[in-house]
Structure 1
Amino acid sequence: MGEPRVLEATATREGKWWNIAIPELDQVTATKKSSEVQEYANSLAAAVLDVPEAEVDVQVVYALPESVEADWKAAREETRKAKELTIAAAGHTKTVVHTLREDGYSGRDIAKMLGLTFQRVSQLLNS
């Protein structure tokens, strides 16, 4: 047995049903439970290809309703930007701590001045 065959499926909620489409096989199945989507997708692919389920790897993508898709993309982009800003802020904080230390301030002085814990200042000085 070689590598499993990789297929893509899309799960779309319609009413109480999750429709699972595997375009490459031109097949669709459905279930009422989102917890069964992956199982149904694997089972469908294996049945159509007439192979054991271990020989297929169906990658399921859950389609978002159009009413929330743009908001979700915006939220992901905002999260990415926030992570970048957090990394930048950490770098600036480290620079300030090291500059104050070079200017002769003690770790405890720096902690008080910046509102950080002494332990955090120590970590920044040792990194």
Structure 2
Amino acid sequence: MHIYKVNVTRDEDAWMVEVPAIHRVTQALNLKEVDTMAKDLINIMTEEPVDTLQLDVHVQLPETVEAHMAESKRQRELADESSRKAAAESRLAAKTLHGMGVTLRDIGTMLGISYQRAHQLVNA
């Protein structure tokens, strides 16, 4: 079974869908349409059944967009790590306060969380 490489680039108001193996290009209005449009094009040009076609799709974006996407991903990963660290510190603070005899209500007030959340942290 042949796997067709598909290169997708943005044109003014559509996605250009290039299939180099058959030297043809088509358009898609959105990325969800890319597979369908590419398979239909390949089918028309080769008469291979659509349900047997496999695609290797590559969306090519300008370098500036790629850089923004990479930085966005990096920032989300940092935020996730910070959230995990903050949660661990909250658990430690709640458990330490509870060990000192501070009530769950006061722990909640001190940490800016509900009584129920303080209970969860102490018992985590």
TM bucket, shorter chain:
0.7 to 0.9
- Comparing 14-23 with 67-76, which one deviates more in the overlay? 14-23
Which one of the candidate residues 20, 27, 32 is aligned to 1:31? Answer: 27
Indicate conservation of the 8 Å contact 1:46/1:55, yes or no.
no
1:117–1:22: structure 2 CA closer, same or farther, 3 Å change rule?
A: same
How far did 1:5 drift? 5.8
SS of the residue 2:25 aligns to: strand
List runs of 5+ in structure 2 lacking aligned partners. Answer: none
Scaled by the length of structure 2, the TM-score of the pair is 0.79
- Whether 1:78 aligns to 2:65 is no
Q: Name the % identity.
A: 28
Q: How many residues align?
A: 123
- The equivalent of 1:116 in structure 2 is 113
- The equivalent of 2:49 in structure 1 is 52
Q: Which amino acid aligns with 1:9?
A: V
Q: Which amino acid aligns with 2:24?
A: V
How far did 1:86 drift? 0.9
How far did 1:40 drift? 0.8
Indicate conservation of the 8 Å contact 1:17/1:33, yes or no.
yes
Cα distance in 2, alignment partners of residues 62 and 40 from structure 1: 14
- The equivalent of 1:125 in structure 2 is 122
Scaled by the length of structure 1, the TM-score of the pair is 0.77
